[in-house]
Amino acid sequence: MRLGFASAPLAFAPKKPAKSLSPGNRKATVIAVAAQKGGVGKTTTTVSLGAALARYYDKKVLIIDLDAQSHVELALRDMVNAGAGSLAELLEEPTMMEVGEIAVGTRIPLLDVMPGSQDLSRAENRLSTRIGKELVLRELIDVTRTHYDVILLDCPPNLGNLTLNGLVAADSVLVPCNPALLAVSGVEGLLGAVEQIKKALNPKLDVLGLLLTRVDQRNASTNALIVDMLVENWGELLAPVQISADVGVQKAQIEGVDVHGYDAHGRAATQYCELAEWVLARIA
Ligand SMILES: Nc1ncnc2c1ncn2[C@@H]1O[C@H](COP(=O)(O)OP(=O)(O)O)[C@@H](O)[C@H]1O
Ligand SMILES: [Mg+2]
């Protein structure tokens, strides 16, 4: 008696991937910009560094906003073209498409953006019940990586599932930190998480550096104390470039443009170009 099992279609067969992005010929370095604390300059650094790399160093750059607050798009709202798809949807159905298929261009020719959205919070919650939940973003940029030189991930201010996905998808992590004790204490937590992720999920993850941001030069003695503390604990990781507190950053964000578009010769633009140069030397 034939039971016919062999030819019957499996009702539980996994869905076929429907990705249609064909491979490019680049090989992006993926950099997560992450810190446990909010307000330390993650988004400003992601946007200003990404814009510098695209504008002045001829790099094809993609910025992915992993924060439900969508600050990347807010900061660049006069630059980002309309029409991006939803990253949250991709996180919930990762075989559907690649991030590179739904990211959008900007007025900077070599800079693309995958904006964040409020529904990232819901997607993050749903991720928590998924097997392999830490690996979803890595899968979503598997082919996308071949279309860019650098992919920057703007992470949310916590160590939740989205930051975890960012750190698992990344080659290296850049950790912005303000010259303030509370910000420094957050660095320890983040670096601890990086160590765990290296052991369990992403052995090649490297700490690109700690970046001091919003350094108010008028507070020289407090700044020196914090620098001493950072050097004592993580000396070799402290980036040689510092980003000063500069009202030009806020003015650029109010106008919805990057610091280089706002004032190419301003202090913030110059320092973020120095950072871009340092980053390129580190990832070369
Ligand atoms: N170098 C800077 N000088 C002045 N203000 C800054 C600087 N960097 C960031 N800011 C401001 O600080 C606030 C927090 O920065 P943001 O990049 O959004 O931090 P995060 O992404 O870590 O929450 C924003 O209002 C931003 O305009
Ligand atoms: Mg932010």
- For the purposes of burial, counting CB atoms within 10 Å of the CB of 23, is it exposed (0-12), middle (13-18) or buried (19 or more)? exposed
C-alpha 42 to ligand 1 mean position (Å): 7
Express each pLDDT in 3-50 by its tens digit.
555 545 555 555 555 788 999 999 999 999 999 999 999 999 999 999
Question: Given 1.10.10.60, 3.40.50.300, 3.40.50.720, 1.10.3720.10, which CATH number is that of 29-283?
Answer: 3.40.50.300
Q: Which ligand is nearest to the CA of 245?
A: 1
Ligand minimally distant from the alpha carbon of residue 253: 1
Predicted TM-score (pTM) of the model is 0.94
DSSP notation for the chain: ----TTTSPPTTPPPPP---PPP-S--PEEEEE--SSSSSSHHHHHHHHHHHHHHHS---EEEEE--TT-HHHHHTTTTBPS----HHHHHHSTTS--HHHH-EEBSSTTEEEE---TTHHHHHHHHTTSTTGGGHHHHHTTTGGGG-SEEEEE--SSSSHHHHHHHHH-SEEEEEE-SSHHHHHHHHHHHHHHHHHHHHT-TT-EEEEEEE-SB-GGGHHHHHHHHHHHHHHHGGGB-S---B--HHHHHHHHHTS-HHHH-TTSHHHHHHHHHHHHHHHHH-
pLDDT value of residue 267:
97
Rounded to an integer, what distance in angstroms lies between the CA atom of residue 134 and that of residue 118?
Answer: 20
* 87-131 pLDDT tens trace: 999 999 988 899 999 999 999 999 999 999 999 999 999 999 999
Ligand 1 binding pocket (C-beta < 6 A) is 38-44, 71, 157, 213-214, 243, 245-246, 249-250, 253, 268
Tell whether the model's pLDDT for residue 55 goes beyond 90.
Answer: yes
